[in-house]
Amino acid sequence: MQISVIGCGYLGAVHAACMAELGHEVVGVDVDHARVARLSAGDAPFFEPGLPEVLARAVASGRLRFTTDMSEVADASVHFVAVGTPQAHGSQAADMTYVDAAVDALVPWLSEGALVVGKSTVPVGTAARLAEKVHAGAPGADLAWNPEFLREGFAVKDTLTPDRFVYGVPAGPAGELAAARLDAVYATALAAGTPRIVTDYATSELVKVSANAFLATKISFINAMAEIAEATGADVTQLADAIGHDARIGRRFLNAGLGFGGGCLPKDIRAFQARADELGLESLAFLADVDAVNLRRRARVVDLAAELVGDVDGARVAVLGVAFKPDSDDVRDSPALDVARALHGRGAAVRVYDPEANTTAARLAPELGYAADADTALRDADVVLVLTEWTEFRNLDPSRVGDLVAARRIVDARNVLDLAAWRAEGFEARGLGRP
């Protein structure tokens, strides 16, 4: 099939490359010339495991090309909209500027029978509004909503073999036509048995935001337990193991630590609350607490570091990890970067090392020091903070680290280190919600 993907960021670039991998003819459109040039050369503009291989293969095969010129989508019959919906300035709500601009630019190029497919995370009600735009500008075209659930770090796998497909389609024969078109796009995964739920626009939009709200709530729940554990001497990691054995609860997404960040969870729970407010509903008031617990963990790590060094002003702080999670170079709303900046703001000499995110972090926080490797960051440090759980940091050798640092102090803000082993090497070692 001939497919276009509008917006080639973390979501769209992966989607475009994976659709070509499945055998479709794909054109990716983005307004950023530099990004289009890199993608056209088969070069991934961000770190994502597996993407360089899929992208290079797709570009070399001739099935995938990129452009800034919207007119080049005219031959495609399915158009995925994968632009960002960041938090709006000065508000909790989602900024819909990019989605609206993408659809407005696309509509003049829609051919008879074309299908616009929204993938971006949007406030409920958006698809119905955009469908009107499509029908008004291109009466022979239609719109479906097909939310994306990919996780950074697993984006290629999640796109090629997702947990499920959700199609939000209009009622009646138009909806059947739209679902059949999406089935043709995703034929490979569907043949392998991937579940598919065909529903209305509003439900499909809500599936995405409610999944993210649930995951954020699960993480903040265990981080709230970490606060209780800190006040009572209990161990939240053992608590999570114990309650996680209950199949109704499950152990996944119960890792207490520095909390969630990234380009999705934080802004999605805020936008969801804002939408509920608009609807006059109190139903999502609890998400304000989910957000508050999450942000308190960042403050807690800053306090722990201060407690360990005594005086933050002038202290040499080694920060291991600034990406919002491992296997990503994404620092959007990164808890780790927040902590590093807060300590810098209090006068600490912060030296950051992240296996992939030094460059992206330096763009946002040029005031911090960046080290080319862990050893350089650790040398002569007064305290070490493990803020992102890269495998490299999980496997740190306490005795080697002890030889590099000025003082044996470590905060494991992701609860991935064996604190007893570090203490045996003379470290003052602290976790979150652990004695």
Instruction: Indicate which residues carry an active-site annotation.
Output: 264
If one asks whether residue 186 binds ligand UDX (CB under 6 A), the answer comes out as no
Using only C-alpha atoms, what is the Rg of the chain?
23
Give the nearer residue to ligand UDX in terms of CB position, either 215 or 383: 215
DSSP sequence for 117-169: EE-S---TTHHHHHHHHHHHH-TT-EEEE----PPTTSHHHHHHS-S-EEEE-
Give the nearer residue to ligand UDX in terms of CB position, either 107 or 216: 216
3 state DSSP class of 279: coil
If one asks whether residue 30 binds ligand UDX (CB under 6 A), the answer comes out as no
Q: How far is the CB of 166 from ligand UDX (least distance, A)?
A: 12
3 state DSSP class of 248: coil
Distance CA 296, CA 391 (A): 25
Residue 429: count other Cβ atoms within 10 Å of its Cβ. Answer: 23
Give the nearer residue to ligand UDX in terms of CB position, either 42 or 257: 257
Among positions 325-354, residues that touch ligand UDX (CB under 6 A) are 325
Choice from 39, 239, 264, 322 touching ligand UDX (CB under 6 A): 264
**Helix segments in 351-417, DSSP class H:** 358-364, 374-378, 391-394, 398-404
Choice from 77, 255, 273, 415 touching ligand UDX (CB under 6 A): 255
If one asks whether residue 215 binds ligand UDX (CB under 6 A), the answer comes out as yes
If one asks whether residue 257 binds ligand UDX (CB under 6 A), the answer comes out as yes
If one asks whether residue 119 binds ligand UDX (CB under 6 A), the answer comes out as no
If one asks whether residue 212 binds ligand UDX (CB under 6 A), the answer comes out as yes
Among positions 134-163, residues that touch ligand UDX (CB under 6 A) are 148-152
If one asks whether residue 265 binds ligand UDX (CB under 6 A), the answer comes out as yes
If one asks whether residue 433 binds ligand UDX (CB under 6 A), the answer comes out as no
Distances, alpha carbon 419 to alpha carbons 7, 304, 374, in Å? 44, 15, 19
Residue 394: count other Cβ atoms within 10 Å of its Cβ. Answer: 14
If one asks whether residue 175 binds ligand UDX (CB under 6 A), the answer comes out as no
Is the distance from CB of 106 to CB of 74 less than 8 angstroms? no
Q: How far is the CB of 354 from ligand UDX (least distance, A)?
A: 13
Choice from 254, 317, 320, 411 touching ligand UDX (CB under 6 A): 254
3 state DSSP class of 34: helix
Strands 349-353 and 316-320: parallel
Report the interface residues with ligand UDX, using CB under 6 A: 148-152, 212, 215, 219, 253-255, 257, 259-262, 264-265, 324-325
